[in-house]
Amino acid sequence: MYDSLKRHCSNFHLYIVAFDDKAYTILNKLALENITVISLKEFENEKLLAVKPTRSRAEYCWTCTPSTILYIFDTYKVENCTYIDADLYFYSSPQVLFDEMNDRSVLITQHRFTPKYDRSKIAGKYCVQFMTFKNNPDGLKVLNWWVEACLEWCYDKYEDGKFGDQKYLDDWTVRFKGIVHDLKHLGGGMAPWNIQQYEISDTTNDRLYFKTIDGAVKFQAVFFHFHYVRFYENDLVDLGWLRFEKEIICTLYGNYLKELEKAIVVIKKVDPDFKEVLRPFSINDAGGLKEKLKTIMKKVTRYNLFKKEQLLKNCN
């Protein structure tokens, strides 16, 4: 994410809240430009620590999302702050998204689910992936409301119209009328759950352009959200259960995997003992790994499980 942002954005500063000591140590050793690394000890406050025992690790991360933005405002006095997920990859400058925001104080992005994969009733209309807040009375009004809501309830389940930190966003354009902008640019918010609606139209000059399946709209990719990419033992990589065309797998996922491998090389230069955390791949049948893979790969409409080396080779 950092490398892709740096490649396309000349003016940015990334504040990273490291949620474990290992990440904090490595990030400081890397000494990346335009980066401020914040330890969990620096960031956590009494309210967060009070609810921490009641949340799972993932739920606590979600609970902290709005508080990270508020911390940046309070500590560094910046004029605006954009929360971005670590699994985003930028294909062009996000400036066009900020320009669309105009004089609004908050920017949110839709999931834009492909109809067959629509989970908006549970996961929400909007995705907490790329959100901008201005450090002004209107922006702080929305942000403080969200901070308190997540402290009160933020769990990995659907309950009373709530889900994690995300479902809260559903009514913001009405609750905070005139303050919140709903992003229209299709290039901001591309993800596994909506990519089926688009096809690649052009890759000229290191730029990636898409068009809607009906050809009515053409747009430049700003970022893609590589949600769910998981790595297993035996050189296996899982791209999730959603259906992708081969061109999408190679152009987007293949190149993303290559970038991740480059990042690991850089990390190992400052921390030679660094090891990737690979998920165990359990084999419960007598047929062993080879037969298990045959069974899984037949279900290509549900699984995108590949041998990483073979996937990269096929995408060259």
- Residues 190-218 pLDDT 10s: 999 999 999 999 887 778 999 999 999 99
Residues 118-175: tens digit of each pLDDT: 999 999 999 999 999 999 999 999 999 999 999 999 999 999 999 999 999 999 999 9
User: Is 46 a member of any domain?
Assistant: yes
User: Is 271 a member of any domain?
Assistant: yes
Q: Provide the CATH number for the domain around residue 95.
A: 3.90.550
One domain for residues 169 and 273: no
CB 244 within 8 A of CB 304: yes
Rounded to whole angstroms, how far apart are CA atoms 161 and 176? Answer: 18
One domain for residues 186 and 254: no
Q: What is the DSSP letter of 278?
A: P
User: Is 107 a member of any domain?
Assistant: yes
For the chain, how many structural domains are there in total? Answer: 2
CB 140 within 8 A of CB 178: no
User: Is 86 a member of any domain?
Assistant: yes
User: Is 219 a member of any domain?
Assistant: no
One domain for residues 161 and 305: no
Structure tokens at 152: 């009160």
Whether the CA torsion 86, 241, 246, 287 is positive or negative: it is positive
Rounded to whole angstroms, how far apart are CA atoms 192 and 234? Answer: 24
Last residue of a domain, one of 174, 208, 242: 208
Cα dihedral 153, 156, 162, 165 in deg (nearest 10): 70
One domain for residues 88 and 166: yes
One domain for residues 135 and 10: yes
Rounded to whole angstroms, how far apart are CA atoms 155 and 56? Answer: 8
What residue type is 4 in one-letter code?
Answer: S
One domain for residues 287 and 161: no
pTM here is 0.92
Full residue range of the structural domain in which residue 285 is found: 229-314
Rounded to whole angstroms, how far apart are CA atoms 89 and 9? Answer: 12
Tally of CB atoms within 10 A around 224: 23
Share of the chain above pLDDT 90, in %: 81
User: Is 12 a member of any domain?
Assistant: yes
